[in-house]
Amino acid sequence: MSKITVSLIKADCGGWPGHATVHPALVATAEEVLGAAKSSGTLVDFNVLACGDDIELIMTHTRGVDEAEIHGLAWEAFEKATEKAKELKLYGAGQDLLCDAFCGNIRGMGPGVAEMEFTERIAEPLVAFMMDKTEPGAFNLPIFKMFADPFNTAGLVIDPSLHHGFIFEVWDIMEHKKVLMSSPEEMYDILALIGAKSRYVIKRVYPKPGKLPVEEPVAVISTEKLYQTAGTYVGKDDPVALVRAQSGLPALGEVLEPFSLGHLVSGWMRGSHNGPLMPCSFDTAHPTRFDGPPRAIAAGFQLADGKLIGPVDLFKDIAFDLTRKRVLEITDYMRAHGPFEPHRLPMEDMEYTTLPHVMNKLKDRFEDTD
């Protein structure tokens, strides 16, 4: 059976207004570009969504990951959307397109990328997660819970096909190194790393020998850090992820359950604040209170020979209403701290924001203490 590749590539091409949402004309422009690629056979299928000010391209094809034509197609969609954004004078048009011309691989050029190639099962449930006003490490807690926490994923305890656990690929995004770790055997070591979510991020999850091929990922997360690419703060690296579910993997409900916490993430307002992550419906992923609070949407699909049967708006479920209410209460509480940590990020993380410019002007006024 031939393999299918799912590529989820995102970029902020301009906000409407400010950094709040994506104008429908930009979504339509991206759809036009991807529609032509589907007609010509480059793509099997696609879906364009928006989360906050980010355009999200979900594409299926048979060309594998890191493929120049697919990345070039995404770049073209973002460039045309940027042209449209400039025409409408939207805010920060082309914000995430950090290079003038496409050079073969979109990674390192600004957009975020999560893609994986795998053998499509008889029935293949897939969830595309998209977040706004936060960073790649925001996925550490929910991905860990899905694939390693028996209090979240009942299947780890009671389903023999999950009982032996999963392999985590963790990246040190400062040192550009990676390590493969086995859960549950190395669970405490995994947590020692990924609890430091601004540095160690889960990149992929693999199955152990069993029902599924061990070399094919079951989850992948974008890890691009914009400031590393641009050399300066240009916006937040709002992350995306793809997660496969069911039959030897966490059930759909086990994949979604970690988001019922509304966990604290970094990236809210000027990329400089911690706040609770709100799981929300597609049509409420418009962060406008203090440019937040940070949002997550989840698009559910069944794959049918690469065709994307969906999306289902998974966080629209009223079962997430109490989470949203709690997130709003935590929002009030965090906001009351104003410029004080831990609402504001610690100094070492502020290094990549605009704060050092303010600090610079004070540095000559400091004298030695007694």
Which residues does the annotation mark as catalytic? 12, 233, 236
Find the part of the chain contacting ligand F6R (CB under 6 A) among 97-105, 164-172, 246-254, 263-271.
263-271
Judged by DSSP in three states, 261 sits in: coil
Is residue 115 within 8 A of residue 221, CB to CB? The reply is no
Q: 114-173: which residues touch ligand F6R (CB under 6 A)?
A: 133
Find the part of the chain contacting ligand F6R (CB under 6 A) among 212-220, 265-273, 277-285, 329-337.
265-273
Beta strands 3-11; 54-61: pairing state: antiparallel
Residue 19 binds to ligand F6R (criterion: CB under 6 A) = yes
Measured in degrees and rounded to the nearest 5, phi and psi for residue 272 equal -125, 5
DSSP 142-196: HHHHHHH-TTT-THHHH-TTTTT-EEEEEEETTTTEEEEEEETTTHHHHHHHHTS
Instruction: Specify the residue, 133 or 204, whose C-beta has the smaller distance to ligand F6R.
Output: 133
Question: What gap in Å lies between CA 363 and CA 358, rounded to an integer?
Answer: 10
Size, binding site for ligand F6R by CB under 6 A: 11
Beta strands 112-119; 200-207: pairing state: unpaired
Measured in degrees and rounded to the nearest 5, phi and psi for residue 252 equal -50, -45
Q: Which of 5, 12, 220, 280 binds Mg ion (CB under 5 A)?
A: 12
Instruction: Specify the residue, 133 or 344, whose C-beta has the smaller distance to Mg ion.
Output: 133
3 burial (CB, 10 Å; 0-12 / 13-18 / 19+) is middle
Question: What gap in Å lies between CA 10 and CA 74, rounded to an integer?
Answer: 8
Residue 54 binds to ligand F6R (criterion: CB under 6 A) = no
H/E run at residue 51: strand 45-51
Find the part of the chain contacting Mg ion (CB under 5 A) among 18-26, 40-48, 107-115, 253-261.
18-26
Q: Which does 186 bind (CB under 5 to 8 A by kind): Mg ion, ligand F6R, none?
A: none
Bridge partners of 273, per DSSP, are 268, 344
Find the part of the chain contacting ligand F6R (CB under 6 A) among 143-151, 178-186, 267-275, 296-304.
267-275
Binding mask 77-116 toward Mg ion (x if CB under 5 A, else -) reads ---------------x--x---------------------
Is residue 281 within 8 A of residue 313, CB to CB? The reply is yes
Cβ within 8 Å of residue 293, ≥6 positions away: 133, 268, 275, 276, 277, 278, 287, 327, 328, 331
Q: Which of 250, 271, 279, 311 binds ligand F6R (CB under 6 A)?
A: 271
Measured in degrees and rounded to the nearest 5, phi and psi for residue 219 equal -155, 145
Q: Which of 94, 125, 235, 279 binds ligand F6R (CB under 6 A)?
A: 235
Find the part of the chain contacting ligand F6R (CB under 6 A) among 2-10, 182-190, 268-276, 329-337.
268-276
Residue 57 region by backbone torsions, left for phi larger than 0, else alpha for psi between -120 and 50, else beta = beta
Residue 203 binds to ligand F6R (criterion: CB under 6 A) = no
Note if the bond before 346 is cis, omega within 30 degrees: no
Binding mask 130-149 toward Mg ion (x if CB under 5 A, else -) reads --x-----------------
Instruction: Specify the residue, 22 or 220, whose C-beta has the smaller distance to Mg ion.
Output: 22
Report in angstroms how near the CB of residue 250 gets to Mg ion at its nearest: 27
Q: Which does 257 bind (CB under 5 to 8 A by kind): ligand F6R, Mg ion, none?
A: none
Q: Which does 54 bind (CB under 5 to 8 A by kind): Mg ion, ligand F6R, none?
A: Mg ion
Q: 40-69: which residues touch Mg ion (CB under 5 A)?
A: 52-54
Q: Which does 18 bind (CB under 5 to 8 A by kind): Mg ion, ligand F6R, none?
A: ligand F6R
Sites of contact with Mg ion (CB under 5 A): 12, 15, 19, 52-54, 92, 95, 132, 238
Q: Which residues form the interface with ligand F6R (CB under 6 A)?
A: 18-19, 92, 133, 235-236, 267, 269-271, 291
